[in-house]
Amino acid sequence: VRIGPDIVAREALIDEVAISADGSLVAYSRRVVVDGAHVRDLWTVPWSGGRSRRLTAGRSVDHSPAFAPDGATVAFLSDRDGGVDQVWLVAVGGGEPRRLTAFQGGVTGLAWRGDGRAVAVTAHDREVGSGPPLVRVIERLDWRDDDTFGLMDRPTHVHVVSLAGRARRLTAGSWFASAPRFLADGRVAFLADPDGDGGRAPVPAVHAVRSRDDAPVRVVATTGPVTAFAVGVAGAIVTLAPAAPEPPDDDPWQVAIDGTTVPGQEDRFAVVLSADGGAAVVADHGREPVFLVAADGLVPVLPDAAAPPTVDAVAAAGTRVAAVATFGTGYAEVYALEPGRVPRRLTTHGAAWFRRNDQPRVSELEVAGPAGPILTWVLSPPDAGDEPRATVLAIHGGPVWHWGPAPELGIQLLVQAGYRVALPNGRGSYGFGRQWIAALAGAWGDVDAADCHAVCDHLVGAGLVDPARLGVFGRSYGGFLTNWLLATSDRFAAGVAEASVANQVSCFGNSDCGYSYNPAAGLGVATTPSGVDLLWRQSPLRHVADLRTPLLLLQGEADLRCPTGDVEQLFVALRRLGRDVEYVLYPEGGHAYHREGRPDRRADRHRRLVGWFERHMPV
Amino acid sequence: VTSSRPLRPADVTRQVALGTLDLSPDGRLVVYSRRTTTRDADRTALWLVPYAGGRARPLTAGTCTDTAPRFAPDGSRIAFLSDRVGGVPQLHVIAVDGGEATGLTAFGRGVAGFDWHPDGRRLVVVAEDDRSPWLVGERPDGLPTARTIARIDWRLDGAGLVLHPAHLHVVPLGGGAPRRLTAGEWSASRPAVSPDGVTVAFLTDTDPRADLRRGQAIHTVPIAGGDVVEMPGTPRPVDRFAYEPDGGIVALGHDVAVLRDQDPQRLFRIDRDGVRRCLTAATDRSFGVGATYSDLFDWNVGMVDAGRITQLADGGRATPVRVGDDGFEVLVAAERDPVVPAIAAAGGRVVAVASVDRRPPEVVAIEDGDVRPLTREARWLAPFVWPVITTVEVAGPAGPITTFVLSPPGSADVPRATILDLHGGPTDQWNPLPMVDALLLVAAGYRVAMPNIRGSIDRGSAWVGELAGRWGDADAADCHAVCDHLVDAGLADPARLGVLGLSYGGFLVNWLVGTTDRFAAAVSENGVTNQVSDWANSDCGVVYCDAGGLGDPTTPAGVELLWRQSPLRNVAAVRTPILLLQGEADLRCPPADNEQLFVALRALGREVSYVLYPEGTHVFASTGRPDRRIDRHERVLAWFDRLMPA
């Protein structure tokens, strides 16, 4: 069976997981489509195996499950009453959920106290208004964030809520707290940069307070922006952060305990840290292996022989780990992991929709590139042999990210439609050492394009690709590179760039993080002539007159990371030049709309992505 | 007589702003539109006043926006547009001698314009189609699945997204379903029915690449239905036109392949057989365009004229003229400083919404070279101090720069804190009539200088052409000449010199602060900072950058030219505290441009405040929600007051 874009209506997506303190029970949320909208419900499954049991069943978005210390209750966030997230409690043994909090602005994070008699939350200070405000006065650089649009109007702060529902505020001010966690001494720790922007990007660190009368104090020495933290065994503070306050792209995010980097990470990127601090995922060589976190070093959880893992979430209780993972290609399920044991699949949600289709063939190639081997996954339709086929080169975002063999749904649909898809980890990708990333700094469009050509040359030379039917697709940084490749080469028959980059000079001001990311990635600053030169040199728009390949530009209208104001520059220029270009806007779409957007929009996006290649380079 | 007091921002809720008007066929009755303001909203009503004189009286309730009044051919009724039902404008008619208005249409997306048929029994309207060929998954109660954009004219400041073609329909006066006249993936505007009632003329550009040029031309379609054809002899682009009694047409527009800013707009006569003649070729001035700037008029109404009776842009004035086959006649002498955005004529009589003698606007009869006020709508200004307005001809590098200087009454010729106020366009001009902004600044004690620098349309095409491709060069030099003059004349305190501007004026503010430290404070509103990106980000960037000679980023030379004229280039040199005001819904000079300047200045640690007004379009300062206009005025005054107190 082959599936198409309409599969979105039957999709079941799992991307978060929790485990009870005794390691006996796993909770996860599952996203499905009901009446054209995404909803999420919570499920539990015994870690030792057994039937999945539905814990909640609303037409709401239930997420972020957290077991109470005694394991009898799960706290979670849900918009089921009033449309904004509140903390709800549900007994694992049965019964209906009850609402614990009533923050008008909504709750953004939660954690249990050790005695199970209270939770700490972060919540927005003000409610979401019914209409826009009279005026927005902007005096900081961090007034917008693609992940949390509107946040600048509404700081988030820490409160403690008793199980009777009594809330006590612990912090206040024009800054943002996240990831609340109780410390052993009863204080509440959280991530924040209370000192404000000072013209730079925020550098969140772990702070703690006991009461509202306290000023937040730093509880662990970190230098780089902390992106996740946990209170681990014996009260250890586990953090995930790069080293530098304004980290360059090659500065690896690493797990530290009480400020000391855990040995065994080398120069690899730790990409996931569990909320309990017990497990982490460290990307390496196109794989996402899971480790137990211990002060004396990381302990591998997966056997070497396992198919290449892609891991979206982990939770740990002692040596028992639950993970949302894909082994090889396909779609994610929940697995039980333990050092030295073969992963056990705990759920079968994917079987109901994704596994019905014919699974693609995966091959792993090491392409000889100008600076070293380029690990490239090649996905082929199950019926494909080693003949020259219509092929799409798909480029990942980031650029500091990587491809495993289980890419997003749209790319899997390209394979279902009969295309071979090549997923290269060219320079800039993590998992291959700092040098592989550092090579791209300030050299966008140079070393990365060279690597792409090397991969294409190799595949054509190996007789796997029909050179007349070679296409390119990428989103975000991958969209940048798509635009760049089309403007500097005529080898491609069609291109699709999604949420991409056209003009780095304007993006310095237009992207929510341009002012900090662009200098960190060596792209330049828009405040000096040499910076502008550097930004412009790395802008696809510079070469627009040479772009003659049919190009589809997909764009979320509410994307703050790679905004419409940038992409439309390429569209307008190509239209002016009379080229074959289409610009498709998805209302309300943020940077990740292809995954988070309204289901009809996701299906339309998949349809257009596949349809563009079918029109210009049929299988 | 009550003692006068200074005008304050909240007083904008007292404003009565006159918009458009019409004159009954017998010339005896005038209908005009009148905008009033509360803190929550503007409302526009239609009022009647006899030509002979007498009390004005309300015709419509004006609970929403009633506008575009047109007398029926027999004068018994007035047709107009009103958004009183459903929030979008629909065609209504009301009897002149009493009774309530009746709605004639129920187009889902409203009516954009109309004309009476000479038989008085039907009207031709232009209305957007209900369905868009470019929207996917359109739904009545929410946002669509996707918008597919294939042309660059998918948005227009003030209108928002324009993804529904607008077409002509015939609407019977007696009720009944409208009959569609045109269809297709293009839009019609400004319908006019021929005197014999057989033909409907309108403006459109049906070319598949019409989005890349300014090429609207007169087309016709039989009122009985049939093919759309381009009218032989039509100029291009046409701004507006009118039938003459013999079935010929007079049209305001141009006759050029690629429009340039310095091309003056002219009046053409096109005979029924397609023979075209330019009636104003001998005059190096624009007719019927961009001649009035003050928001003491209702900015929701564009310029309105009566065919050959139209406006001449000259010396800051918008002078009413009657254009003949050989030359034109001035209807109000230049010495009276006429500023006339709306003119109507019938039965040999001419009426107008007009300001003369640098006084606030009224509805007037124009008779024998003089004006006779028919209304007393400027009463709302009576309690407030009116500025002293003088005209200074400053010697500039390329010629005299006409500068209107506004001062608080009784202020001697002493150096005062002075604001250089820069108009938008740049192909526009300051009138001797101030904006509300300037009134408030003068009331707060500032002197305000409003110069018509190079690029302004007040002294002909060469003066405009001086600026082409030279933004930040010719214009900045002129600004310095004006400031030097005011300082040397002892009128401006050089330590308390500020600068303010909207749109192109905002560009120039951004440019000046990056190239000089002479200003103590700056306010830039909906300006321009990066011409390279704005070429695409502005709704009209591609077409406008051609007209203004700014450049085109599809070539390296074009990028260089655009960047050379970009204030962002000089951002590191900005030391002047700057307030950036920005309408969030501005599609002309969008936030994507202005925020580049904010981010750069903030990253450099300079004193900058970026203030966003939700829902604000390009001219929200004059047409936005009143509470936002008040907030904006208060911030402008506070910015100058803190940094350079009067």
- CB-CB neighbors (< 8 A) of B552 in chain A: 576
Angle formed at CA B202 by CA B201 and CA B206, multiple of 5 degrees: 120
Q: Is A573 on the interface with B (CB under 8 A)?
A: yes
Angle formed at CA A349 by CA A345 and CA A354, multiple of 5 degrees: 105
Q: Which of A150-154, B147-151, B486-490 has the lowest mean pLDDT?
A: A150-154
Q: What pLDDT sits at residue A584?
A: 98
pLDDT, averaged across chain A: 94
Q: What pLDDT sits at residue A260?
A: 96
DSSP B484-510: HHHHHTT-EEEEEEEEEEETHHHHHHH
pLDDT digits (tens, 9 = 90+) for B63-108: 999 999 999 999 999 999 999 999 999 999 999 998 899 999 999 9
Residue A576 is nearest to which of B212, B572, B593, comparing CB atoms? B212
Among B387, B404, B392, CA closest to B293: B404
Query: Given the DSSP bridges, would you call strands B578-583 and B521-525 parallel, antiparallel or unpaired?
Result: parallel
pLDDT band at A202 (very low <50, low <70, confident <90, very high): confident
Residue B596 is nearest to which of A138, A506, A608, comparing CB atoms? A506
pLDDT, averaged across chain B: 96
> Do A583 and B149 count as a contact with CB atoms less than 8 A apart?
yes
Q: What pLDDT sits at residue A351?
A: 76
Query: Quick one: what percent of chain B has pLDDT higher than 90?
Result: 94
Report d(CA B56, CA B253) in Å as an integer. Answer: 35
Q: What pLDDT sits at residue B317?
A: 96
Q: Where does residue A292 rank: exposed (0-12), middle (13-18), buried (19+ CB within 10 A)?
A: buried
Q: What pLDDT sits at residue A139?
A: 85
Report d(CA A471, CA A490) in Å as an integer. Answer: 11
Residues facing A189 on adjacent strands:
A181, A208
- The yes-or-no verdict on residue A242 having pLDDT over 80 is yes
Residue B603 is nearest to which of A133, A527, A582, comparing CB atoms? A527
> Do B590 and A565 count as a contact with CB atoms less than 8 A apart?
yes
Q: Is A561 on the interface with B (CB under 8 A)?
A: no
- Which whole number is the average pLDDT over A479-488? 98
List all residues of chain A from 400 to 429 with a beta carbon under 8 Å from chain B: none
Please tell me whether the peptide bond between A388 and the residue prior to it is cis, using omega within 30 degrees of 0: no
Residue B599 is nearest to which of A135, A515, A600, comparing CB atoms? A515
> Do B143 and A588 count as a contact with CB atoms less than 8 A apart?
yes
- CB-CB neighbors (< 8 A) of B612 in chain A: 135-138
Torsion of CA A201, A206, A211, A213, to 10 degrees: -40
Report d(CA A171, CA A423) in Å as an integer. Answer: 46
Report d(CA A503, CA A512) in Å as an integer. Answer: 15
To the nearest whole angstrom, how far is the Cα of A226 from the nearest Cα of chain B? 22
Q: What pLDDT sits at residue B615?
A: 95
Residue B372 backbone zone (phi > 0: left; psi -120 to 50: alpha; other: beta):
beta
- Which whole number is the average pLDDT over B111-128? 98
pLDDT band at A220 (very low <50, low <70, confident <90, very high): very high
Report d(CA B25, CA B145) in Å as an integer. Answer: 50
pLDDT band at A155 (very low <50, low <70, confident <90, very high): confident
Residue with tokens 């491709």: B469
List all residues of chain A from 474 to 533 with a beta carbon under 8 Å from chain B: 503, 505-506, 508-510, 514-515, 525-529, 532
Q: Is B595 on the interface with A (CB under 8 A)?
A: yes
Q: CB count, 10 Å around CB of B458?
A: 22
Is residue A452 within 8 A of residue A396, CB to CB? The reply is no
Report d(CA B334, CA A200) in Å as an integer. Answer: 56
Q: Where does residue B352 rank: exposed (0-12), middle (13-18), buried (19+ CB within 10 A)?
A: buried
Q: What pLDDT sits at residue A144?
A: 87
To the nearest whole angstrom, how far is the Cα of B527 from the nearest Cα of chain A? 15
Among B41, B68, B139, CA closest to B628: B41
Q: Which two tokens stand for residue A127?
A: 């409610």
Q: Is A542 on the interface with B (CB under 8 A)?
A: yes
The pTM score is 0.96
Report d(CA B47, CA A326) in Å as an integer. Answer: 72
- CB-CB neighbors (< 8 A) of B614 in chain A: 132-136
- The yes-or-no verdict on residue B2 having pLDDT over 60 is no
pLDDT digits (tens, 9 = 90+) for A85-102: 999 999 999 889 999 999
Q: What pLDDT sits at residue A148?
A: 65
Is residue B559 within 8 A of residue B479, CB to CB? The reply is no
Q: Is B50 on the interface with A (CB under 8 A)?
A: no
> Do B537 and A132 count as a contact with CB atoms less than 8 A apart?
no
- CB-CB neighbors (< 8 A) of A133 in chain B: 614
- Could you report the predicted ipTM of this complex, rounded to two decimals? 0.95
Q: Is B614 on the interface with A (CB under 8 A)?
A: yes
Please tell me whether the peptide bond between B426 and the residue prior to it is cis, using omega within 30 degrees of 0: yes
pLDDT digits (tens, 9 = 90+) for B472-504: 999 999 999 999 999 999 999 999 999 999 999
Torsion of CA A497, A500, A505, A509, to 10 degrees: 160
Report d(CA A207, CA A218) in Å as an integer. Answer: 4
- Which whole number is the average pLDDT over A539-558? 98
Residue of chain A whose alpha carbon sits nearest to that of B583: A135
pLDDT digits (tens, 9 = 90+) for B495-551: 999 999 999 999 999 999 999 999 999 999 999 999 999 999 999 999 999 999 999
pLDDT digits (tens, 9 = 90+) for B160-175: 999 999 999 999 999 8
Q: Which of A282-286, A454-458, B254-258 has the lowest mean pLDDT?
A: B254-258
- The yes-or-no verdict on residue A8 having pLDDT over 90 is yes
> Do A565 and B151 count as a contact with CB atoms less than 8 A apart?
no
Angle formed at CA A408 by CA A407 and CA A412, multiple of 5 degrees: 75
Q: Is B324 on the interface with A (CB under 8 A)?
A: no
Among B625, B607, B605, B608, CA closest to B616: B625
- CB-CB neighbors (< 8 A) of B624 in chain A: none
To the nearest whole angstrom, how far is the Cα of B152 from the nearest Cα of chain A? 6
Q: What pLDDT sits at residue B57?
A: 96
Report d(CA B333, CA B320) in Å as an integer. Answer: 9
pLDDT band at A153 (very low <50, low <70, confident <90, very high): low
pLDDT digits (tens, 9 = 90+) for A382-412: 999 999 999 999 999 999 999 999 999 999 9
To the nearest whole angstrom, how far is the Cα of B141 from the nearest Cα of chain A? 14
Helix then strand count (H, E) for chain A reads 10, 37
Report d(CA B269, CA B281) in Å as an integer. Answer: 12
pLDDT digits (tens, 9 = 90+) for B400-456: 999 999 999 988 889 999 999 999 999 999 999 999 999 999 999 999 999 999 999
Q: What pLDDT sits at residue B3?
A: 60
Q: What pLDDT sits at residue A198?
A: 60
Q: What pLDDT sits at residue A116?
A: 97
Q: What pLDDT sits at residue A151?
A: 52
Residue A527 is nearest to which of B536, B552, B572, comparing CB atoms? B572
Report d(CA A274, CA B403) in Å as an integer. Answer: 68
Q: What pLDDT sits at residue A129?
A: 63
pLDDT band at B1 (very low <50, low <70, confident <90, very high): very low
pLDDT digits (tens, 9 = 90+) for B211-235: 999 999 999 999 999 999 999 999 9
- The yes-or-no verdict on residue A248 having pLDDT over 50 is yes
Q: Is A257 on the interface with B (CB under 8 A)?
A: no
